[in-house]
Amino acid sequence: MILFKRADKKLFLMLFALMLFAILPELLMPLYKATAKIGQDLVYSRAPILSLLVEHIWLTLFSSGLSAIFGIMLGVLVTTKAGEDFKQVVTMFGSIGQTLPPVAVLAIAAGFVGYGTKPTLIALFLYGLFPIIAGTIAGLNAVGRDIILAAEGMGMTESQIFLKVKLPLAAEVIIAGVRTSVVINIGTATIGAAIGAGGLGAPIMAGLINDNFPFIIQGGVAVGLLAVFTDRLISLFEMRIRAYRT
């Protein structure tokens, strides 16, 4: 329990730092002054960091939420008797999908759908699908034969076995898949700025193009904090599930 409390405190601190920085990016002014070239803007002014953060969170949450719904459904489907035929191909799909470079997926989506939020969402959704599918299948597969046999022996129906035995046991691995997916999507959404998706990638991209280091820091620090915070948050959730189970 002490472990959780400490982790919670760290998490809270991180959230606080993220919010503070998003509202007041001027906090790091000395760093900006030290790294900026003469005559450059010190603070990204096209949009406040806070609204970019909100945009970024929305992008990831929306796409990852969809990926989670579809990914888990697909993973569950192929591990049932009805979907058995497609298990191999979907597993293969999941593992090959994870090797695809996110930039390439994003670029191809932009090539078809055009620029802006829409292709980014599509790419994030597709790309986020793979780790979740892989995690769901792996998690459900890992549930031991004898456990299921025991459940059958107790007279549970197929759906009861799924809801009361398989799903709770696989939950940890499934959530781990979701975590991977969300963290990757936060990163990919950042690159989405290159196709005009907005979000925290915008100041970084602007900084890279105009050689303006303060902009890079503003976007980078915010997105870095967001990613690390989200990763920790979901890990904590995983740990809770594990602790609850044992």
Partner 1 sequence: MIVGLFMAPLLSLKPNRLMPGDPGYLIDIAPLNDILLVLSLLVLFLIFANLLSWNKHLKLFMCLILSAIFYKIITISGDVALVRSEADFLARTAFTTGFWLFVAGYIVVMMQAFATVIEKKYDIKLLIILLTIAPVGLLFFNGGVGEISIFKELMSKQDRFLLEFKNHLLISGSASFSAILIGIPLGIYSFRHQRLSERIFGLLNIVQTIPSIALFGFLIAPFAWLASKSDFLDSVGFSGIGFAPAITALILYGLLPIVRNTYAGISSIDPSVVESAKGMGMTSGQILIKIQLPVSMPLLMNGIRVSFVQCIGNTAVAALVGAGGFGLFIFQGLGQSAVDMVLLCAIPTILLAVFADTIMQFIIKLTSPKGMDYDTD
CA distance 198 to 49: 11
CA distance linking residue 132 with residue 175, whole number of Å: 8
CB of 51 to partner 1, least distance (A): 18
Decide if residue 32 touches partner 1 (CB under 8 A): no
Task: Name which of 133, 126, 127, 131 is nearest 89 in CA terms.
Answer: 133
Binding mask 120-159 for partner 1 (x = CB under 8 A): ------------------x---------------------
Residue 88 within binding range of partner 1, rule CB under 8 A: yes
**Cβ distance to partner 1 smaller for residue 4 or 244:** 4
- 102 belongs to the binding site for partner 1 (CB under 8 A): yes
Asked if residue 89 binds partner 1 (CB under 8 A), the reply is yes
* CA 41 vs CA 32, 38, 76, 220, 223: distances in Å: 9, 9, 51, 17, 20
Nearest to 200, CA basis, from 217, 183, 182: 217
- Name the segment binding partner 1 (CB under 8 A); options: 72-80, 99-107, 145-153, 169-177: 99-107
User: What is the spatial distance between Cα 38 and Cα 110, in angstroms, rounded to a whole number?
Assistant: 36
Can residue 107 be called a binding residue for partner 1 (CB under 8 A)?
yes
At closest approach, how far in Å is the CB of 142 from partner 1? 10
Closer to partner 1 at the Cβ: 73 or 150?
73
- Contacts with partner 1 by CB under 8 A lie at 35, 85-86, 88-89, 91-93, 95-96, 99-105, 107-108, 110-112, 115, 138, 183, 186-188, 190-191, 194-195, 201, 204-205, 207-208, 213, 216-217, 219-220, 223-224, 227-228, 231
